[in-house]
Amino acid sequence: MRAGFVAVSITLLSIMSAEAVSKLTDSGSMFPIITSVYELETLFVNQQNALLPVSPPSEEVYVDSYDCVLPVDWKRFPKEFTQQMYAEMDKNGHPIYFVTIFEDPITRETVFLNAYGTEVFRLEAEPGYDPFAWQKTTFQVEDVSELSEWTQWIFDPAHIASTFALTPESVYADYEASLQQELTSQTLSLESMSMMMSLPAVVTNIQLAIGSTGNGTVEIEVGWPVDFTNRLEIYAATDLIVGDWQYALTNISTIGSSSYVWEDTNTNLTQRMYAAGNMDIDTDDDGIPDAREKYIFKTDPNLADTDGDGVNDGVEIANGTDPLQADSDGDGLHDGIEDALAASVQTNGSGGVLVVVPGTGWYHAIDPDLELVYLGGE
């Protein structure tokens, strides 16, 4: 479990439909007025629940930006909360207050930050709150310790944070009127509609930017620091719960440039997630890059022999055995012993298990993990 987090702000394109514009006109306000910190917390929890099944696979906290400005009445908010809120004026002179909310992974309190990232308030977790209830139900386990630490973190509610934009209820009607005028008079170009994210001006880590080309394909831009020289590869998945990551592009050279643009022409998918990995980092020296262990093979990047069968993960993958199962073929003998002796397992007429070692003889596997007892020659 992580004791802290690094917020990563991801801005998603949101285009309001004509029906939504109509609602603005006919009903005054599309959204209920936020009148307490508890109502704001409820909005955040709803965002957590909606995003948790598709939580992006990263070590950092994913910060989602709520795509609408909400009306707020500050009167029932705690004074220590409101005294630390700072407004940014939009182009029409309306004050907008940004609040980022996350779940503390240690205390499970709900934490509120202002636009400058300063903590302004905390709410205690509800009695009996189980942050891993979703994981237990989805993966059908009694205890999350049965899942890998990586899976626990990705689907931990603390992995999701949300930023909300608020404006005082007293000016919200004017804000909506300005928004309606912009929406009805503005023609969005295809280029502006298709852009979802872009790389920051200065890249300090490996980052991905994803957008649409307008012809049904997806354009991926991967960026890296100017002094970075390791090779990269891109992985893609369609289901983050199953974790069906596959190679999308490999051996991306980073020498002499700071970004690479690639077009994914796989257009038959309703959704696809992407991740970038460093091909030249292998922490446990098992011959498999850490990123591949995490995404493709689901092995432990800090442990050369994940299943403890005596054969390192890289060798198992090369040999076609399962690095996550000590006995890949289920014959009662660990892969390490089979590889070391070039042995196979047979069953004799009386139902006993015989380990056949070519050119050596028959052995009875009393304990396939520990010892073999010689019985006779071939």
Per-domain residue ranges of the chain: 7-186, 207-318, 327-376
Helices 18-27 + 169-185 axis angle, to 10: 140
Q: Which residue has the higher pLDDT, 58 or 2?
A: 58
- Do 290 and 232 form a contact (C-beta atoms < 8 A)? no
> Which residue type sits at 144?
V
Alpha helix stretches (DSSP H) within the chain: 18-27, 37-51, 79-82, 133-139, 149-154, 169-185, 190-194, 290-292, 313-319, 335-341
> Could you tell me which residues come within 8 angstroms of residue 226 by beta carbon, excluding any fewer than 6 positions away?
258
**What global pTM score does this model have?**
0.51
Buried/exposed code over 291-312 (b: 16+ C-beta within 10 A; e: otherwise): bbbbbbbebbbeebbbbebbbb
Tokens 């199953």 label which residue? 242
Band the pLDDT of 51: cuts 50, 70, 90.
Answer: confident
* Most confident of the following: 122-136, 141-155, 255-269, 355-369: 122-136
- Ranking 202-211, 330-339, 363-372 by mean pLDDT, the lowest is 363-372
Mean pLDDT, range 11-24, rounded to an integer: 30
Q: How far apart (Å, rounded) are the C-alpha atoms in residues 118 and 99?
A: 10
Neighbours of 6 (CB within 10 A): 11
- Ranking 50-64, 115-129, 137-151, 258-272 by mean pLDDT, the lowest is 258-272
**Pairing status of strand 160-168 against strand 232-237:** unpaired
Neighbours of 230 (CB within 10 A): 15
197: DSSP letter: -
Strand, coil or helix: what is 179? helix
Candidates 306, 240, 251, 301; CA nearest to 274 is 240
Rg (CA), the chain: 27
Taking only the tens place, the pLDDT of each residue in 206-251 is 887 777 666 667 788 888 888 889 999 988 887 766 678 889 889 9
Q: Which helix (H) or strand (E) holds 6?
A: none
Tokens 């209920």 label which residue? 32
Buried/exposed code over 209-221 (b: 16+ C-beta within 10 A; e: otherwise): bbbbeeeeebbbb
CA distances from 367 to 9, 58, 133, 332, 338 (A): 54, 41, 39, 9, 13
pLDDT of residue 77: 95
Tokens 């202002």 label which residue? 114
Taking only the tens place, the pLDDT of each residue in 138-185 is 889 999 899 888 889 989 999 999 999 999 988 888 888 877 776 655
**In CATH terms, is domain 207-318 a member of 2.60.40.10?**
yes
